[in-house]
Each structure stands twice: as structure tokens, then as C-alpha cells.
Amino acid sequence: MSKFWKMTVVCLALFQGAGLHGQSFKIANTAPFARHGAVVEIPADAIACTADGSQSAGGCTGMFRVTDMEGNPLLWQLTSDGKLLVEVSLEAGETVTVAVEPVKATDKCRSGESRCAADTICLSQVRHDFQDDLTWENDRGGYRLYGPSYRAGGGNVAGYDIWTKSVAFPVLAQRYVDHCRYGISYHNDHGNGMDCYTVGRTLGAGMNALMNGDDLIYPCAYEECEILDNGPLRTRVKVTCYPLALPDGTETVETRVITLDKGSWLNRTEVTYSGITAPRPMATGIVVHKENNRGYVVDPQKRFVAYADLTDNPDKGNGVIYIGIVNALTPSEAAYRQFAEAEGAALGHVMNTALYDPATPYVYYWGAGWSKGGVRGMDDWTGYLGRFHDSLMHPIVVNKL
């Protein structure tokens, strides 16, 4: 199996409800720092429907390409929720212009033309051949969430798992093939990363959970999963968890939409709970292991929490996994909470606590980087987390010309 998953990037894309006709958009970086390789969203309702394409009761169909003002093609993606994603680089305070141009059906893509094909960078998959694992990855790292078969087999892992990576192309599918078919363990690094992280009955690498007093109400595995988008710039997955019994005798069903963009160390996660009618405390956290019991950082401004995990077998030279959580809204508390009793190697969580408001989805960001995959140390990692938070405070602004 090739390590590169090629995809045709809809050079003659069919976009229902929004045909395009030589439109331009200004993209402005409002932050006092550069953003290189930023994935920018242009909402579909900002793209006027024109006569370029067949008019029908369902709207018009358009075929297009996206370029900068010098005519250089830009990597782009249409998402299932009606966004046109464009990859651009912006210096501090810089504004650039991109053009969305019509492409006729007779304008065939030539082989090797970058506007027509690109490597798939962001990819999700469900491994029905291996306990229904849901895994997803981008050019920075990979993650796992356990599924129905795992739960049915007696598994009780709650949190997110990490698959380290040191290459920019998708590798998780090949790791499963090598592990299951050829006995090449994905717990060892064979040149592109590995699974060397222990989750257990914890929040793992950034899971969310409702709270009952000081106790966490752990979820376990997902029940249903829908892959909404699969690259090249974004992968997005909707997972629905098993019904969860609450201490007051009621039941809730948790739904998460997890989004991972090219170039980002962090996943955006939007959480909702059914059946909850009043604000309720919840947490997002990272497990702290005994191998590095003081390896966590809590930002004084509560912008983020971070942890340096020494992996499940430090003596093998597995490097360090740096994990972080960033909240757009300041949490009520950010602190380390120790378990009453250690659970194996797990001593507690470094975590944020906040109120879940049933009127509004809870949105936060979490993810990990690896010392062998581009993160140079804890200062480097916390610097990234701080800038990421600041970038949320200084959003990229898109205006149609």
C-alpha cells in the first residue's frame, strides 16, 4: 500500500447552490504575528450563484479554481457544511486577495498541475477490522477513539489516544495493515512514529467529561460515527456516544464534532449533551503519569494547560509527547487535580473546568506534538499554545470584493 493517499481535488468540482464567476476575496490577518499555511474559511453564502453552470430548481452548479492575484493556484477544499477552505500564508497584519474563477467543463486538468491534484493530508478512517477504532490524522499527528466493538469486548478506556508522527503524509492505515497482517507492531517506531501513549480510565490527551462534584463522569467509546470531510485541508468527524446515566437518574447522549486542519497541532471539538436543561459543570483534561508527575504547565491567564508525557516506555527512547488544551472562553478553573488513589501509572489530571450551557455547544481545542516530530521542548510547546489562543482572539477576517 502506498504511503501517499492521492486524491483528485475537484478541479471540476460540483458545488450545489453556489456557482462562481470570477469573484475575489480579501483575507486579512488581524494578529500581530504571522500565520503561515493558515486554513481560511470562506462561507458558501458569500459566494454568489451565477449563470456559469446549469440552472436548476436546486440552485446552480459551478466549476472553479482558486488562485492568488498572481494566478498561482492555491490548495482548497469544499466542506460538507458549505465552506470553501483556502490555504494561505499571512504576515502580521497582512491582507491578501484570492480569486475564485470559473472553469469550463472542457478545461481538463493536465497531469501534475497542482490546482488539479494534491496529496491527501487530513484523513479519518474507521477500522471495522480492528475493534471499530476511529483514527484521524493530519501532517502533525494522529489520534484514536475507541468504538463499539472495543466496548462490547469489555474495554473501558475513556479518553483520546495519541499516535505520534514524524512525517507529513498519512500513515495510520498502513500501521494497521502492518500490525494486524504482518505482525509489525505499531507500538514501535519504524521510521514515521508509533503508538506509545497510555490512556486507561482517564481523560487521556484532552477528553471532556461532565462532573458530579469533584468526580468525572467518564464516557466510554463512541456508538456511532460519521466522517463528514476528508481532506486535503480538513478532516471532520461527528461521533455520538453511548447513553450516559447521570447521578440524578436522568440520561444524556453526548455528541462531538471533531475538526483537524492541515498544519495544526490542535483539534477543534464542539460538544453537546442531550437531555440537559440547566448549566452543568464539565471538565477537559490531560492525564498526568507517574513518569513525569511534575511535567505539567498551567498558564497563569488560564489560556491553556499543557503536559509533557514521557510515553509508556521511556527507556526505549520514545521521545516526549507534548499535550495541550486551549479554551477560547476562560475556564472557571485551570489546575492539577490528583486522584485519591493512583490508577496504575495515572496520578491525576491537569484540567480546565467550566459550565456547560445547554443553549450553546461547548467548544475547545486539544492535541499533541512529538519531540521527534517537530516540537523542540516545553517552552516551544507552551509558546505555540499561547499563540494559538491569541489567534482565536484575533481571527482572520474575510471580505468579498
> Which DSSP letter does residue 165 get?
-
* Structure confidence at residue 231 as a pLDDT band (50, 70, 90): confident
For residue 337, is it within any domain? yes
Residue that is last in its domain, among 119, 150, 184: 119
* Closest-CA residue to 257 (of 246, 241, 279): 241
pLDDT at 389: 97
pLDDT at 323: 98
Task: Look at 40-49, 160-169, 301-310, 346-355 and tell me which has the smallest mean pLDDT.
Answer: 40-49
* Closest-CA residue to 221 (of 237, 244, 246, 205): 244
Task: Read off the CATH number of the domain in which 72 is found.
Answer: 2.60.40.1180
Residue that is last in its domain, among 119, 152, 169: 119
C-alpha distances (whole Å) from 115 to each of 22, 41, 50, 112, 118 are: 16, 18, 22, 9, 8
pLDDT digits 0-9 by tens, 143-174 = 999 999 999 999 989 999 999 999 999 999 99
pLDDT at 45: 66
- Give the burial class of 165: count Cβ atoms within 10 A of its Cβ; 0-12 exposed, 13-18 middle, 19 or more buried: buried
Task: Read off the CATH number of the domain in which 351 is found.
Answer: 2.70.98
* Structure confidence at residue 318 as a pLDDT band (50, 70, 90): very high
Rg for the chain, CA atoms, rounded: 22
Residues 6+ apart with CB under 8 A from 281: 210, 211, 353, 354, 355, 356
Task: Look at 44-48, 113-117, 282-286, 319-323 and tell me which has the smallest mean pLDDT.
Answer: 113-117
263 DSSP β-pair partners = none
Do the Cβ atoms of 156 and 127 come closer than 8 Å? no
Which is more confident, 105 or 80?
80
Residue that is last in its domain, among 74, 91, 119: 119
What average pLDDT does range 204-225 have in this prediction? 95
pLDDT at 22: 63
Same domain, 115 and 133: no
pLDDT digits 0-9 by tens, 353-363 = 999 999 999 99
Quote the number of domains for the chain: 2
For residue 25, is it within any domain? yes
Residues 6+ apart with CB under 8 A from 360: none
* Closest-CA residue to 136 (of 150, 123, 120, 121): 123
Same domain, 99 and 199: no
pLDDT at 76: 87
For residue 269, is it within any domain? yes
Same domain, 73 and 180: no
* Structure confidence at residue 100 as a pLDDT band (50, 70, 90): confident
* Structure confidence at residue 11 as a pLDDT band (50, 70, 90): very low
What average pLDDT does range 174-195 have in this prediction? 96
pLDDT at 3 over 70: no
Same domain, 71 and 191: no
φ, ψ of residue 31 to 5 degrees: the values are: -90, 155
C-alpha distances (whole Å) from 139 to each of 9, 21, 223, 387 are: 17, 32, 27, 19
For residue 303, is it within any domain? yes
pLDDT digits 0-9 by tens, 111-133 = 334 444 568 899 999 999 999 99
Same domain, 254 and 219: yes
* Closest-CA residue to 138 (of 264, 31, 7): 264
φ, ψ of residue 291 to 5 degrees: the values are: -65, -20
Q: What is the mean pLDDT of the chain?
A: 87
- Distance between CA atoms of residues 323 and 203, nearest Å: 12
Grid cell at residue 326: 486551549
For residue 88, is it within any domain? yes
Question: Which domain range does residue 127 map to?
Answer: 123-393
- Distance between CA atoms of residues 387 and 227, nearest Å: 29
What average pLDDT does range 48-74 have in this prediction? 57
Same domain, 127 and 209: yes
Provide the pairing of β-strand 133-137 with 251-252: unpaired
What average pLDDT does range 47-64 have in this prediction? 40
pLDDT at 107: 56
* Structure confidence at residue 279 as a pLDDT band (50, 70, 90): very high
